[in-house]
Amino acid sequence: MLSFLPSTLLGVICIGLIVLNTLIWTVPVYALALTKFLIRFKWWQIRCARYLMATVNGWIGGTLLSLKLTQKITWDIKGLKGLTRKEWYFVNSNHQSWTDILVLLRTFGYKIPFPKFFLKKELFWIPIMGTAWWALDYPYMKRYSREYLEKYPEKRGKDLETTKKMCERYGHTPVSILNFIEGTRFTPEKHKRQESPYRHLLRPKAGGFAFALNAMDGKIKKMLDVTIVYPEGPVRFWNFLCGRISRIVVRVKEHVIPEEFLHGNYLDDEKFRERFQEWVRELWEEKDRFIERLIREYQESHLPKQAR
């Protein structure tokens, strides 16, 4: 445990360990990516996917070790009972900081399939990471705007069709699809600009959620709704790396996704879209009240005894 070091030095060491760990595991990922590209036989593609996930597990272990060596955090995590790596999940979380990514990694570890997320096609060209995401079967997708489809109607449905083909490989290996429904990190400025009706959340964007469920063609039937609370106040990623965060609260609630939402056409079916949006709004209202309750419980527990 290196938490006795000055906070700035601790942050430098922590991020250095994470970067080093990532670079180390990039070597086998790239080697396997090359064979995956050259050997197109289905049996090898399936086996290669398993080998790649083994490298991911190694990367997870190294990252978690980096956090354990440098952070002195009280983790208050509940709701993980019954989770399995043999199930397909949709993982949704509120989003406040880049810290959320490492919190989710610490929360789920090896308990569920390694989370993946839908990527814009342009991200393939990011050095190192773009190829690694491709090798790890992250689904690249090309989304068309409503305006574009009105101009080129023959493209309607092509984005979903292409993404579904990419997701067919998940029929052999369970996955978790990660999505931040808010679409961006929460800040007071964004909250005010949106005129969000929620106290602790931005307005949810249901379209990406519906698109992911449709693309998975009914394979994902369960959602893990994650609520992350930093009870000491807003957290910056650098402060997290520097060990300045003493407590993090995580609650995981499993939902069975209603059957009607597994295959609907969110873009073209207005009634389906309204029902789906209403369901998401109800989830978000519940999450907002839950966050308020968690914060209040923490504040009350830290009041001086005479003030309780």
Instruction: Give the residue extent of every domain in the chain.
Output: 73-307
Tokens of 154: 């023959």
* Range of lowest pLDDT (29-38, 82-91, 120-129, 287-296): 120-129
pTM over 0.75: yes
Say how far apart CA 136 and CA 51 lie, in whole Å: 10
pLDDT digits (tens, 9 = 90+) for 171-190: 667 888 888 889 889 999 99
* Range of lowest pLDDT (21-30, 149-158, 274-283): 149-158
pLDDT digits (tens, 9 = 90+) for 208-247: 888 888 878 788 999 999 999 999 888 899 999 998 998 9
Tokens of 53: 């996930």
CB of 234 closer than 8 Å to CB of 103? no
Given pLDDT bands bounded at 50, 70 and 90, which one contains residue 204?
very high
CB of 194 closer than 8 Å to CB of 202? yes
Q: Answer whether residue 114 shows pLDDT above 70.
A: yes
Q: What is the pLDDT of residue 133?
A: 75
DSSP 8-state class, residue 267: T
Say how far apart CA 277 and CA 266 lie, in whole Å: 10
Q: What is the dihedral of CA 110, 112, 114, 117, to 10 degrees?
A: -150
Query: In the predicted model, what is the mean pLDDT of the chain?
Result: 85
Architecture of domain 73-307: 3-Layer(aba) Sandwich (3.40)
Q: Which of 127-131, 282-286, 300-304 has the largest mean confidence?
A: 282-286
Q: What is the pLDDT of residue 183?
A: 83
